[in-house]
């Protein structure tokens, strides 16, 4: 290992941890990836991957072959510890940081003086301070004086991940990064580390501002998608084509409306705004309403199908797409999947689901080829704007009732 190369432990080998680990390993760092799932650990050590992301298979394979990436169930001593575990929420939309707390406790025995602990997981405001407190409890020897705020001998910072699924490998390098240190020394050392492999700008602030910046970015998008979704409901009532409307309104130099859809999915935008609502429930009125507007859209789509199906005795409904967005296999928080499942039990008709990026695996239904769906369906419900659907010959749609929630055939 060259002198400026580090030993890095990455806690969590999912959509963020795995690409980050393999990127760092191919840069020459010695990376030790840790995951609680033994199957994931086994696969990665064989150079295989458990998630779909363009280019990731090749990167992981070369990282493992180089000997610089190893996976295991338990951490080891290292120079840098990166935490990239999930931050879900409970049924009441309260953030659950237990995976972060547990990862912190797991690495605590392996930390030595001068180590850097970086939180990459999207986190509610105050989580980096919580890591600080846990480490002070578990390892008082790493902290001078009595209180956890007293000049720690370990460096702690938040550097929120900002990559877009589907473009992770590119954005890991090119995106600007925000570093929120618990003190100046943590800020400086973390910024130096990211500058060594990021081509975007590295901007420093305090930990709470960095946490809030990440939540703000995703809430901004959620609010703007909610605006588009609300417009789609209004336009439907008024008999206006919302896609044409948005295209025209966006010709104004200061207007840039996003696209309506069947709702907002994924593990980020449909989740993170709730962390702000939880922290400031009285103030976060617009952010909460946007979440509600977006969460309501799948119900509206279901009712639309019900209304359009009335003229059929026993209609066949073709659901095109189950993923949370175009050209990915990710089904987390997917409104398309929610709508399809609701249709299956609605009694409206027979449902044929088609998802070209997934090979079955659903207990309650089977997947159909696009050709069969196009042949048999009376109603075609577009839920995801996958490339496969965009290219469909319009002649095949002529006799069908089409409900296009993504506007691909407008
Ligand atoms: N969507 C619409 N209309 C649009 C844009 C998106 O309905 O105009 C829907 C999508 O179909 C999807 C959902 O919103 O269901 C979210 O998709 P997305 O592509 O907007 O975002 P994600 O969840 O894949 O990734 C986001 C990104 N955040 C921002 O763009 C501000 C990414 O940069 C973050 O790193 C990621 O969340 C994260 O991990 O937090």
Catalytic residues: 214, 268
User: Which pair of tokens denotes residue 128?
Assistant: 């980096």
Of 54, 164, 172, the one to substitute when testing ligand 1's pocket (max ligand atoms within 8 A of C-beta) is 164
pLDDT digits (tens, 9 = 90+) for 170-223: 999 999 999 999 999 999 999 999 999 999 999 999 999 999 999 999 999 999
Write down the pLDDT at residue 151. 59
Distance 343 CA to ligand 1 centre (A): 25
273 lines ligand 1 (CB under 6 A): no
384 lines ligand 1 (CB under 6 A): no
Distance 262 CA to ligand 1 centre (A): 13
327 neighbors 387 (Cβ within 8 angstroms): yes
155 lines ligand 1 (CB under 6 A): no
Cα-Cα-Cα-Cα dihedral sign, residues 362, 364, 368, 374: negative
Written as one string, the DSSP assignment of 94-118 is -B--HHHHHHHHHHGGG--TT-EEE
The percent of the chain in helix, strand and coil, each rounded to the nearest 5, is 40, 15, 45
Q: Closest ligand 1 atom to the C-alpha of 229? A: 7
Q: What burial letters (b/e) apply to 329-342, b meaning 16+ CB within 10 Å?
A: bbbbbbbbbbbbbb
Write down the pLDDT at residue 52. 82
345 neighbors 339 (Cβ within 8 angstroms): no
Write down the pLDDT at residue 145. 59
Average pLDDT, the chain: 95
264 lines ligand 1 (CB under 6 A): yes
Write down the pLDDT at residue 149. 53
Q: How far apart are CA 337 and CA 19, in angstroms?
A: 26
232 lines ligand 1 (CB under 6 A): no
Read off the pLDDT band of 2 (50, 70, 90): low
Whole-angstrom CA distances from 26 to 29, 31, 68, 123, 168 are: 7, 9, 7, 28, 15
Q: How many CB atoms lie under 10 A from the CB of residue 369?
A: 11
pLDDT digits (tens, 9 = 90+) for 100-154: 999 999 999 999 999 999 999 999 999 999 999 999 999 999 987 555 455 578 9
Q: How many CB atoms lie under 10 A from the CB of residue 383?
A: 31
Q: How far apart are CA 170 and CA 23, in angstroms?
A: 10
Indicate which residue's Cα is closest to atom 32 of ligand 1.
164
Read off the pLDDT band of 275 (50, 70, 90): very high
Q: Closest ligand 1 atom to the C-alpha of 163? A: 35
269 lines ligand 1 (CB under 6 A): yes
Mean pLDDT of 145-164: 80
Write down the pLDDT at residue 371. 96
pLDDT digits (tens, 9 = 90+) for 4-17: 789 999 999 999 99
Q: Which residue carries 């509600």 as its tokens?
A: 292
288 lines ligand 1 (CB under 6 A): no
Distance 163 CA to ligand 1 centre (A): 10
This prediction's pTM: 0.94
Indicate which residue's Cα is closest to atom 4 of ligand 1.
259
Q: How far apart are CA 240 and CA 233, in angstroms?
A: 10
Mean pLDDT of 21-25: 97
Write down the pLDDT at residue 146. 54
Residues 6+ apart with CB under 8 A from 69: 21, 22, 25, 31, 33, 44, 60, 63
């Amino acid at each position: 290992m060259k002198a400026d190369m580090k030993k890095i432990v990455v806690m969590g080998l999912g959509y963020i941890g795995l690409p980050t680990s393999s990127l760092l390993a191919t840069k020459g760092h010695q990376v030790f990836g840790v995951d609680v799932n033994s199957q994931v650990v086994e696969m990665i050590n064989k150079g295989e991957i458990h998630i779909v992301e363009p280019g990731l298979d090749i990167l992981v394979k070369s990282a493992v072959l180089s000997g610089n990436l190893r996976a295991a169930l338990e951490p080891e001593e290292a120079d840098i510890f990166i935490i990239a575990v999930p931050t879900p929420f409970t049924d009441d939309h309260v953030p659950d940081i237990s995976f972060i707390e547990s990862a912190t406790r797991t690495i605590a025995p392996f930390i030595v003086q001068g180590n850097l602990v970086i939180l990459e997981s999207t986190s509610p405001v105050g989580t980096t301070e919580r890591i600080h407190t846990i480490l002070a409890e578990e390892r008082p020897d790493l902290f001078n004086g009595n209180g956890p705020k007293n000049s720690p001998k370990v460096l702690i910072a938040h550097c929120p991940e900002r990559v877009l699924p589907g473009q992770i490998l590119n954005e890991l390098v090119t995106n600007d990064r925000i570093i929120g240190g618990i003190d100046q020394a943590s800020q400086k050392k973390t910024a130096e580390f990211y500058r060594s492999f990021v081509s975007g700008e590295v901007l420093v602030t305090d930990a709470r501002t960095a946490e809030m910046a990440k939540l703000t970015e995703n809430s901004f998008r959620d609010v703007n998608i909610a605006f588009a979704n609300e417009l789609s409901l209004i336009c439907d009532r008024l008999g206006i084509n919302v896609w044409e409307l948005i295209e025209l309104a966006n010709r104004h130099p200061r207007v840039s409306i996003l696209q309506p859809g069947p709702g907002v999915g994924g593990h980020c935008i449909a989740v993170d705004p709730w962390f702000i609502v939880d922290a400031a429930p009285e103030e976060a009125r617009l952010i909460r309403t946007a979440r509600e507007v977006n969460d309501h859209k799948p119900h509206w789509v279901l009712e639309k199908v019900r209304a359009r199906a009335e003229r059929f005795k026993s209609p066949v409904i073709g659901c095109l797409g189950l993923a949370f967005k175009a050209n990915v296999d990710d089904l987390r928080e997917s409104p398309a999947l929610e709508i399809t499942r609701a249709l299956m039990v609605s009694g409206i008709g027979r449902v044929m689901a088609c998802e070209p990026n997934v090979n079955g695996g659903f207990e309650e239904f089977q997947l159909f080829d696009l050709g069969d769906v196009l042949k048999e369906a009376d109603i075609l419900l577009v839920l995801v704007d996958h490339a496969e659907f965009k290219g469909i010959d319009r002649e095949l749609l002529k006799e069908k009732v089409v409900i296009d929630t993504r506007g691909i055939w407008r």
